[in-house]
């Protein structure tokens, strides 16, 4: 994941913009082979009226042979793996930056102590068609009263000898990527104490 940890918020950018000013903020960037994928947010003032656009993904493919003539996203056969990695990484970053994944916090943190368990809520689970077993992934960590956290971890519950059909395996892999992106976002935006 390539989220820019210290990217300014829309409010911070707008506060420094002048009349009719605008600024693009880089929120994440993934580079592999000839592909560069970026998530950027456009903040501006129309006169003195501020506005912000939702973050957008841009994938540049111009580093491939003949790239300057590519006006749309083009993936040459020798770069399919590079494209897949960049696309998955930037999708994961985008999910972490824009998807408000609900977390729950256990009550009763003691002053300065890591006694508050936190993690994802409503993590989607799947019931596998082959044997009617439930599988799910979730993210968890511990917090103290000052908001410091322990290292976030991703937990995967599949049980033993679980058989996935190919489409179920693909769907579950996206759940794992989504949870992993959330864990990295929590880690990036928080003060992690080892």
Does 151 score more than 80 pLDDT? yes
- Give the per-residue pLDDT at 137: 86
9 versus 69: the higher-pLDDT residue is 9
Nearest Cα neighbor of 10 from 25, 30, 29 is: 25
Provide the residue ranges of all domains of the chain, joining segments of one domain with +: 10-98, 103-189
Q: How far apart are CA 68 and CA 122, in angstroms?
A: 45
Amino acid 121: pLDDT: 63
21: nearest Cα among 13, 11, 29: 13
Which of 81-85, 98-102, 125-129, 169-173 comes out lowest in average pLDDT? 98-102
| Residue 120 pLDDT | 77
Query: For residue range 22-50, what is the model confidence (pLDDT) as tens digits?
Result: 999 999 999 999 999 999 999 999 999 99
Residue 63 or residue 122, greater confidence: 63
Lowest-pLDDT range, 14-18, 34-38, 61-65? 61-65
Q: How far apart are CA 38 and CA 26, in angstroms?
A: 7
Closest to 73 in 3D by CA, of 35, 39, 24, 40: 35
- Determine the pLDDT at residue 122: 55
Q: Which pLDDT tens digit goes with each residue over 75-120?
A: 999 999 999 989 988 988 888 788 766 677 776 555 556 666 788 7
Instruction: Of 74, 77, 52, give the one whose Cα is nearest residue 61.
Output: 74
């Amino acid at each position: 994941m390539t989220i820019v940890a210290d990217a300014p918020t829309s409010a911070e950018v707008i506060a420094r913009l002048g009349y009719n000013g605008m600024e693009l903020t880089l929120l994440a960037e993934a580079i592999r082979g000839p592909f560069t994928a970026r998530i950027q947010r456009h903040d501006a003032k129309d006169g003195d009226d501020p506005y912000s656009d939702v973050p957008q993904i841009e994938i540049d493919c111009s580093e491939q042979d003949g790239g300057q003539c590519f006006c749309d996203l083009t993936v040459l056969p020798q770069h399919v793996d590079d494209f897949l990695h960049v696309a998955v990484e930037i999708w994961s970053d985008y999910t972490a930056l824009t998807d408000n994944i609900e977390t729950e916090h256990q009550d009763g943190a003691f002053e300065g102590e890591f006694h508050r368990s936190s993690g994802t809520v409503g993590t989607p689970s799947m019931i596998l068609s082959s044997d009617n077993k439930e599988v799910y992934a979730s993210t968890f960590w511990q917090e103290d009263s000052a908001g410091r956290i322990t290292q976030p971890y991703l937990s995967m519950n599949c049980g033993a000898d679980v058989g996935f059909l190919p489409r179920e395996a693909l769907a579950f892999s996206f759940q794992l990527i989504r949870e992993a992106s959330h864990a990295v976002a929590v880690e990036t935006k928080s003060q992690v104490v080892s």
